[in-house]
Amino acid sequence: MQVWRSFLVRIKQVLIGIVAVLIAASGPFVSAAKASEVREEPAIAFAARVVGDENRARLIVDFSRRINHDTYLLDKPDRLVVDLPETIFALDDDAAKLPETLVSKLRFGAFGDGQSRIALDLSAPVAVKNSFLREVDNGARFRLIVDMVASDAKTFASAVRPPPKVEPLPEATPQEADKKKRRYKVLLDPGHGGIDGGASGRNRTREKDITLAFALKLKALLDADDQFQPLLTRSDDSFVPLTARLQKARDVQADLFISIHADSLNLRSIRGATVYTLSKEGSDSLSRVLAKKQNRADLVAGLELPEKKPDVADILIDMTRRETAVFSHRFASHLILYMSKDLKMINNPLRSADFYVLKAPEVPSVLLELGYLSNSRDEELLKSPEWRKKAANRVAGAIRRFFADGHGQ
């Protein structure tokens, strides 16, 4: 089925839903399908710490939403485990640095298909006293608390339970069956180019060169997979206006749009990858600053972005954009989940801002900041072919997972 036909089907479903809701009652419209997608979004763990001493310890983890959890003890090696639903770990590096407590190390990451895990390596036998989730800041976040006390080897051994069987995390390899037998169009957008060099690093590394090299590497990986048709907004050092990048996503009827950047900041200590989805307000001041900077990129060529004119079709476009936002957010979550396995990411890597290139209403779109050229370590990595290969493989894995889950239909 062609993307455009799929889009029209989705629009029809949304319109039917609106009619039903308006007949039933007044109020804002939220489709059942959309609500289901939102509920299934991964949780975000954005703060974690262990406090205590040699006699007792407490694990504290803050989540973006309410989560189910299962806490238990395992041996060989001795550890306390907290199994979670699919979770994005946006934690500081210091989260794994522990004081002298009953816990020697804290580890976290994806553990299976739709599952994540926090594991605490123990320096001595413990017994779990409490394990509960508490609402904080009127539901703005949810705090997991696990209390443990010093125990003895015999008591610990009696509390250990067999590890649960889990489905391994699927890599969605190129050999995975494509039920629809179609090629998904993935439009890669290397930021800047030509007269617009973008940001530059302390060693004069240019953003336009980094983004193109990464896009070409990612395109080569997707080219080798017959379920994809990767396309580029530019394949050489040429200038492409923001309006043309956005229009190409619509003209080729892209199934997914990924704008690639490597910006610079005044704070040189900030480093790591960041994934942005579209938001008019912006999730934070840093996101708003970057969006404003990127949206003015055409000024270097004497161009201005066109003013948006009112249109009677605005309500339909807005409805489409709302549904597309669900798919954009889902892909962003996959992208962070795959990249955070072994790549450095910024604190709270899932962010949003009013980026012009993400505004195609019917195309799921994200902007990927690979890192920040203002940071010397990031600049070194961004220039490395080995790092680009590893990062491109992670992004390709997220793309495969996204379409394997049926979000491109």
Identity of residue 18: I
Virtual CA dihedral for 311, 312, 316, 318, nearest 10 degrees?
Answer: 40
Average pLDDT of the segment spanning 306-317: 49
Predicted local confidence at residue 6, as pLDDT? 47
Residue written as token pair 């990858």:
273
Which residues have CB under 8 Å from 99's CB, separation 6+?
50, 51, 52
Assess whether pLDDT exceeds 90 at residue 159: yes
Q: Does the pLDDT at position 7 exceed 60?
A: no
Confidence of residue 342 (pLDDT cuts 50, 70, 90): confident
Least confident of 109-113, 120-124, 212-216: 109-113
pLDDT at 15: 45
Banded model confidence at residue 43, pLDDT cuts 50, 70, 90: confident
DSSP 407: T
Q: Which residues contact 95 (CB under 8 A, 6 or more apart)?
A: 47, 48, 49, 106, 108
Banded pLDDT at 47 (limits 50, 70, 90): confident
- Cα–Cα dist 168/155, whole Å: 31
Pairing of strands 228-232, 79-85: unpaired
Residue range 237-248, pLDDT digits in tens: 999 999 899 899
Average pLDDT across the chain, whole number: 80
Q: Which of 57-61, 134-138, 381-385 has the lowest mean pLDDT?
A: 134-138
Report pLDDT digits (tens) over 146-157.
999 999 999 999
Q: Are 18 and 319 in contact (CB under 8 A)?
A: yes
Lowest mean per-residue pLDDT among 11-15, 332-336, 355-359, 375-379 = 11-15
Rounded CA separation 202/271 (Å): 14
Does residue 213 have a pLDDT over 70?
yes
Q: State yes or no: pLDDT of 27 exceeds 50.
A: no
Q: Tell me what the mean pLDDT of segment 165-179 comes to.
A: 54
pLDDT at 294: 77
Distance (Å, rounded) from C-alpha 118 to C-alpha 60? 11
pLDDT at 381: 96
Look at residue 271 in the predicted model and tell me its pLDDT. 93
pLDDT at 44 exceeding the cut of 70: yes
pLDDT range class, residue 36, cuts 50, 70, 90: very low
Instruction: Quote the Cα angle for 387-388-390, to 5°.
Output: 65
Q: Is the pLDDT of residue 324 over 90?
A: no
| CA-closest candidate to residue 43, choices 59, 28, 27, 65 | 65
Q: Which of 15-29, 331-345, 373-387 has the highest mean pLDDT?
A: 373-387
What is the chain's length?
409
Helices (H), 296-375: 314-339
User: 147 and 82 in contact (C-beta within 8 Å)?
Assistant: no
pLDDT at 273: 95
pLDDT band of residue 39 (cuts 50, 70, 90) is very low
Task: Report CA torsion sign: 172, 176, 181, 183.
Answer: positive
Q: If you write DSSP's letter for every residue of 211-254 in order, what string do you get?
A: HHHHHHHHHHHHHTSTTEEEEES-SSS----HHHHHHHHHHTT-
Most confident of 78-82, 111-115, 287-291: 78-82
Instruction: Give the model's confidence band at 298: pLDDT under 50 very low, under 70 low, under 90 confident, else very high.
Output: low
Q: Nearest 10 degrees: CA dihedral of 20, 321, 290, 334?
A: 90
For residue 180, what pLDDT band results from cuts at 50, 70 and 90? very low
Instruction: Tell me: pLDDT of 217 over 70.
Output: yes
Model confidence at 99: pLDDT above 80: no
**In this predicted structure, what is the pLDDT of residue 201?**
92
Which range (13-17, 29-33, 64-68, 360-364) has the least confidence? 29-33
pTM passes above 0.85: no
Is-contact 284 326, C-beta < 8 A?
no
Catalogue the E-assigned strands of 70-183.
70-74, 79-85, 87-89, 103-112, 115-122, 126-136, 141-150
Predicted confidence at residue 22, as pLDDT, reads 39
